[in-house]
């Protein structure tokens, strides 16, 4: 029962964040995000980051308006999300580690041919740089743009850009690894979730 509610809260967050920015109610998205994080903890997540962020978001939602800080606090989550994801991808590029995309491939296919592993490393680097740039964009727009334009990018356009990278990468992968048996999107997603949970 908790999983569908948590999924709804997570999916609705960008819209809630946008409405909070447009209607000058920055505490609302902070409170919403604290519910998402708390729901994740109740669902069994043991992430130390989630455990730390849930009370911080709740405290920001309650105390931020009283001290006049709720507006800029509400602009931090997209920055943290993008940079956090960039870190998750980027740390796997360190010496002695298997790049994240290659790890997903190994979980799904077993040992990878060298050219496939090399492609996985390059694609992991692309995602690291791309997500890092999105985080920087969110930060700069949060500092210098109007609430509407910041929110338009942080809550909608950036998600479209992520989807676009997924779409554009597929024909490139087919061209580079054309003789490799294709993998469905759902299988790739399952492999990704298994790697993340391990």
The terminus-to-terminus CA distance of the chain in angstroms comes to 24
SS3 content of the chain, % helix, strand, coil (to 5): 85, 0, 15
Q: What is the dihedral of CA 89, 8, 80, 30, to 10 degrees?
A: -170
Q: What is the dihedral of CA 30, 155, 13, 33, to 10 degrees?
A: -30
Task: Flag residues of the chain having pLDDT under 50.
Answer: 185, 189, 193, 195-198
The residue whose two tokens read 């850009």 is: 161
**How many H-runs (helices) and E-runs (strands) does the chain carry?**
10, 0
Residue 47: predicted pLDDT: 67
Residue 59: predicted pLDDT: 72
d(CA 39, CA 42): 5
d(CA 57, CA 122): 35
Q: Give the CA angle between residues 140, 158, 27 to the nearest 5°.
A: 65
Residue 72: predicted pLDDT: 82
Dmax over CA atoms of the chain, in Å, equals 61
């Amino acid at each position: 029962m908790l999983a569908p509610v948590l999924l709804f809260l997570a999916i609705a967050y960008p819209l809630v964040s946008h409405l909070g920015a447009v209607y000058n109610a920055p505490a609302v998205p902070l409170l919403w995000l604290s519910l998402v994080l708390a729901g994740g903890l109740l669902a069994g997540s043991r992430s130390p980051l989630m455990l730390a962020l849930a009370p911080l978001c709740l405290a920001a939602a309650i105390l931020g308006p009283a001290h006049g800080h709720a507006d800029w606090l509400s602009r931090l989550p997209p920055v943290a999300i993008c940079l956090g994801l960039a870190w998750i991808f980027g740390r796997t590029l360190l010496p002695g580690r298997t790049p994240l995309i290659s790890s997903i491939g190994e979980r799904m296919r077993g040992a990878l041919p060298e050219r496939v592993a090399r492609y996985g490393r390059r694609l992991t680097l692309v995602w690291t740089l791309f997500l890092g740039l999105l985080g920087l964009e969110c930060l700069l727009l949060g500092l210098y743009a109007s609430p509407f334009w910041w929110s338009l990018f942080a809550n909608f356009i950036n998600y479209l850009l992520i989807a676009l990278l997924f779409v554009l990468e597929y024909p490139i992968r087919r061209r580079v690894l054309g003789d490799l048996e294709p993998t469905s999107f759902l299988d790739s997603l399952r492999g990704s979730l298994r790697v993340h949970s391990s």
